[in-house]
Amino acid sequence: MFTTVEKLITARNLRPKKKEGFLKVISIFSFLGIMLGVATLIIVMSVMNGFRTELTEKILGFNSHITIKPYSTNISEEFYYKLQEEYKSLKIIKTHNGEAVVMRNDSAKGVLIRGIDSEKIEEIDFFKKNIIDGELSGFVDGTIILGKHLAIELGVVVGDKINIMSSSSVSTPLGAIPKQSSYKIAAVFSSGLYEFDRNVAFFNLEDSLSFFEKTVDDISLEIFLKNPLNAEKYKKEIQNKNSNFYVNSWSDLNKSFFSALKVERNVMFLILTLIIIVAAFNIISGLTILIKNKTKEIAILKSLGLSKKSIVKSFFLTGFLIGFLATVVGVIFGVIFSIYIEEIRQFLSLTFNLQIFPEDVYFLNEMPSEISPESILSISIFSILVTILASLFPSLAVTKIEPIKALKYE
């Protein structure tokens, strides 16, 4: 594709003379700009992909994939057993949720109480994987399961007792007062999601109904699937069986959240591509100045019989090599940084005493990263295309140089 002469001219262009030091500076900035642009894009896309994947896995692990709530009619035992019979491969759990205040010594904290059928709890993968203290076998009437951060905030461990105040009231000679009960901590879980670990606790289903002054007519059903992506299919089937229930899938409940993540990812990609485009302008500037300074040499080469096409190719190759090598180095740097991003975060946090990626803001315990070959390929192609365009246009200016005029005063 490129002749020996064209390669020699390119090599000469990449090693400017001492008096052309400004061109060397421009070339260095072009290289660094494209390299950092590519690396930054890969790092940001990897973090965004990892963030989305981690949150999806943890949200799906903690929450059910389909929720059925009573609307105009209650969920009967007959409907529950009918679902179990028809969908034997699915895990269908009776639940009841409510809000309460957990009290311990001088500490008080509002939490979401999730009442769950203790007979079915061992079937749920979340409890199999995330219990860090205590045993599920101890989850009986009069006990509670807390999140790790809630237990730390209250200063309690497995076996301790805590008081919980309900939103429902109890009539006394002094008037209506909030209902309070004492519960023993059976286990502590760690979901990896800060908000869940700090704001959610689990009751036995019977305790939840009793505590909130409810009956079996107020229960909801939560369904866990082997493949969460099939949630919409099952949702439609169940909704068609009885239109008097609210049937929601996990995607319905988190649609706005994941849509926001997608929009943010796309916006970040568009913004960061500007780094590569700006760096490409440096290539245009550098090649334009280089061609201007090499006018006499170009005229001599034309006079010696070298074609315009060969000269254009040599100057094009000069700019292309800068962009191509910068893209390759940027990909390598971006991938390595993405792989060790959590270690880098911890190092910076300890060295400079900075709180990078706080749990209470980003929900996760550590900075996630998921390298996507498709993203790397698309970023690399975009960078190379920009480099090609940035190198091509100034190189075509060579064709306008006429040897007679260029050498007239030499």
* pLDDT tens for each residue of 55-106: 777 777 778 888 988 887 888 888 888 888 888 888 888 898 888 888 877 7
CA dist., res. 1 & res. 4, Å (int): 10
Give me the long-range contacts of 309-313 (CB less than 8 A, separation at least 24). 310/3, 310/5, 310/6, 311/9, 311/398, 312/395, 312/396, 312/398, 312/399, 313/2, 313/6, 313/395
Predicted local confidence at residue 297, as pLDDT: 75
Closest CA to 207 of 178, 184, 177, 190: 184
**CA contacts within 13 A on the Cβ side of 116:** 27
- The end-to-end CA distance of the chain, in Å, is 34
Type of residue numbered 223: I
What single-letter DSSP state applies at residue 243? Answer: T
CA dist., res. 407 & res. 399, Å (int): 15
Tell the residue number behind the tokens 């008080």, with chain if given. 108
CA dist., res. 44 & res. 397, Å (int): 37
What single-letter DSSP state applies at residue 254? Answer: T
Predicted local confidence at residue 291, as pLDDT: 77
Predicted local confidence at residue 22, as pLDDT: 60
Low-confidence ranges of the chain (pLDDT < 50): none
Q: How many CB atoms lie within 10 A of CB 231?
A: 20
Type of residue numbered 5: V
C-beta of residue 57 within 8 angstroms of C-beta of residue 258:
no
Model confidence, pTM: 0.70
CA distances from 140 to 94, 192, 205, 305, 378 (A): 16, 25, 10, 94, 54
Predicted local confidence at residue 280, as pLDDT: 84
Residues 6+ apart with CB under 8 A from 20: 290, 293
91 phi and psi angles, rounded to 5 deg: -95, 110
